[in-house]
Amino acid sequence: MNAIDSSTPSELVVVTGASTGIGRATARRLAADGFHVLAGVRTEAAAAEVKAEHVEPVLLDITDERQVAALADRVRGDRRPLRAVVNNAGIAVNAPIEALPLAEWRRQFDVTVFGQVAVIQALMPALLRSKGRVVNIGSTGGKVAMPAFGAYSGAKFAMEAVSDSLRREVEPFGVSVAVIVPGAVRTRLTERGGATSARLAEAMTPEQCTRYAGLMKAFRATTESWGTHGLDAAVVADAVSRAVHARKPRTRYTVGRDAAVMTRLTHLVPDRLLDRMVRRTMGL
């Protein structure tokens, strides 16, 4: 590889799920901060949209072992140290637990848990060499499981545990692990999740449709409100930037008033009372 001149960023950052929303905003912010960003996208069209100064798109489906291995080869072949891996790629599969096919449960966990673990495993050697950091994009769904969010919250709760375990394993070797916990954010993930939910609702039995009609109406109203009142993705990108730059990053960064309130309530409020508060929040 050619020598790096003084105008070239001296450190790499990997951002998965960078096609839109939080991932794209994070890639742009970290490039502006002075890093060379390897931005994971799933299509050539997305790569063309994301490409920018110091933002290098890489084709990356985190459930594809060959593409994850190719990313690790790209990092290993670069003389610059890997400062951080930002695990943002994810999907939202939402439906009542009774009515959600197991294949959809597996798809949710394959992307939001197993795919992220695959990226961490592949890039950990580089992070250990550079004493870098892992930044996992979490959610209030990983703190409070609302009705119809069972699969999504299950995966996000799982990543909370993975993040805690990983932090306790690798911090003695100089690798930090932080979780970003945003509240409602205006992103394409919410739109795609709504479309997925509508598809799943159409596959319910007549009895399930009757049983969960009120819940699915409340779910749609709740997610649509996020598109209107949610945070801009750039606010989350700011928190990621702080986690990447901090000499000793916090274990968690809560972003947004709703995230702060819901996270605190889980420690202060009995389960039955929290159940009522969640249902009231959704208009049930």
Q: Give one DSSP letter per residue of 38-72, joined into a string.
A: EEEESSHHHHHHH-BTTEEEEE--TT-HHHHHHHH
Which domains can be identified in the chain, with CATH numbers? 12-281 (3.40.50.720)
Catalytic site positions: 152
CB 210 within 8 A of CB 201: no
pLDDT at 202: 85
pLDDT at 67: 98
124-137 b/e (C-beta count within 10 Å ≥ 16 → b): bebbeebebbbbbb
**Against a cut of 0.85, is the pTM above it?**
yes
pLDDT at 190: 66
CB 167 within 8 A of CB 251: yes
**In 10 A of CB 105, how many CB atoms?**
17
| CA pair distance 115, 177, nearest whole angstrom | 17
* Regions in the chain scoring below 50 on pLDDT: 1-6
pLDDT at 5: 38
196-210 b/e (C-beta count within 10 Å ≥ 16 → b): bbeebbeebeeebee
pLDDT at 4: 39
